[in-house]
Amino acid sequence: MSEDIYAMPDLSKKARFQTGEEADGNADVYENTDNVNIYDNYLPPGSTPLEQEDSTTEEPQKAISVNVPSGGRNLLRPATMFLLLLCLLFLAGVIVLVVLWIQDKGLNADLTRARDELQTSYGDMKSLNDNLTQKTNQLEKEIDNSRAIESNLTTEIYELKGQLERSRCPDDWIRFGSSCYLFSTSKKNWTESKSFCEDRMAQLVIISSEQEQNFIRSFGNDILIGLTDEETEGSWKWVNGSVAIQTYWGNNQPDNKGSEDCVVVLHYESSRSWNDIACSTREYFLCEKMLE
């Protein structure tokens, strides 16, 4: 038995065994070939091994070919086409992204340029607005100054008109110096004459200079003037309440004959022609209105 164990196996034979089969060989090895393991160069016990062929012999050894199942070949082509399609889609996506990036870059450049132009325009408009505001303020100041000047001119015009009106003598009045004079056309006593002049915003004449004295004498009539000592004998006062300082009494006047408390200017005498008379005496008189 020991010889059989160490015997050389016959490599030219093949043996087939069904997995899970008992060693007695009662089962049919050809009934089921699905679960069969094939072992080449197996020698059963008691067999004599064949002589090994010299590998250097001239007969070429047969090549063992492996066949790929047809189902695998059928799946390879769709997979290749799918991968190719994915590559094409990826390439197209890259191209689209590049185009979009270029367009976006150009758009950003345009937007930047437009933004710069808008900022420049805004700066110009702001500068123009500041200039317009400054000019508007200056114009408003000039308008205010013009209005102030116009108001002052208007005030001056009214004042000049008032002065002109005041410097003009009313109708039938005669101007001499800074006064207007109205010569009466009828005779009245001293009290009536005083009231007549006051009704016309004037007063019985007050003589304040020798020139005025001579002017009054030129009318050619005896004329009542606004001088009296009726309040206090010997204290001669004008109708405005002032005391007579410069006087033009005639010779031996005033003589106070028969309570003579009023004064008349005699036209035929020299510049010293005042004469006292009774206030009830009716004479021509002269109203005087001072010009401002």
Residue 9 preceded by cis peptide, ω within 30: no
159 and 181 both lie in a single domain: no
- Whether residue 288 has pLDDT greater than 80: yes
Domain carrying residue 161: 80-168
Are the C-beta atoms of 206 and 288 separated by less than 8 Å? Answer: yes
- What is the per-residue pLDDT for 234? 86
254 belongs to a structural domain:
yes
Domain end among 116, 138, 168: 168
Are the C-beta atoms of 205 and 286 separated by less than 8 Å? Answer: yes
- What is the per-residue pLDDT for 165? 67
Domain end among 168, 186, 216: 168
57 belongs to a structural domain:
no
- What is the per-residue pLDDT for 104? 76
Name the band, by pLDDT with cuts 50, 70 and 90, for residue 239: very high
111 belongs to a structural domain:
yes
Share of the chain above pLDDT 90, in %: 35
- What is the per-residue pLDDT for 161? 75
Distance CA 34, CA 265 (A): 179
183 and 162 both lie in a single domain: no
221 and 253 both lie in a single domain: yes
- What is the per-residue pLDDT for 168? 81
Element (H, E) at 286: strand 284-290
139 and 91 both lie in a single domain: yes
104 belongs to a structural domain:
yes
Distance CA 87, CA 124 (A): 54
136 and 159 both lie in a single domain: yes
Residues 6+ apart with CB under 8 A from 17: 29, 36, 37
133 and 214 both lie in a single domain: no
What are the tens digits of pLDDT across the range 206-219?
999 999 999 998 88
Share of the chain above pLDDT 70, in %: 72
Q: How many domains, the chain?
A: 3
Are the C-beta atoms of 246 and 208 separated by less than 8 Å? Answer: yes
Element (H, E) at 100: helix 70-167
Residue ranges in 168-270 assigned as alpha helix (H): 190-199, 210-217
- Whether residue 37 has pLDDT greater than 90: no
Name the band, by pLDDT with cuts 50, 70 and 90, for residue 242: very high
- What is the per-residue pLDDT for 109? 82
Strands 223-228 and 284-290: parallel
Residue whose C-alpha is closest to residue 48's, from 18, 11, 8, 19:
8
Residue 49 preceded by cis peptide, ω within 30: no
Q: Of the ranges 18-32, 92-106, 216-230, which one carries the lowest mean pLDDT score? A: 18-32
CATH number at residue 280: 3.10.100.10
The average pLDDT across 103-107 equals 77
145 and 179 both lie in a single domain: no
Task: Give the chain's length.
Answer: 292
- What is the per-residue pLDDT for 21? 44
Strand partners, 15: 39
- Residue 135's φ and ψ, nearest 5 degrees, are -65, -35
Match 């059989």 to its residue by tokens: 4
Domain end among 110, 141, 168: 168
Task: Give the SS3 label for residue 83.
Answer: helix
Q: In a 10 Å sphere around its CB, with 0-12 CB exposed, 13-18 middle and 19+ buried, how is residue 10 labelled?
A: middle
- Whether residue 98 has pLDDT greater than 80: yes
Q: Of the ranges 62-71, 152-161, 206-215, 271-280, which one carries the lowest mean pLDDT score? A: 62-71
- Whether residue 18 has pLDDT greater than 80: no
User: Whole-prediction pTM value?
Assistant: 0.46
- Residue 17: what residue type? F
Mean pLDDT of the chain: 79
180 and 265 both lie in a single domain: yes
195 and 136 both lie in a single domain: no
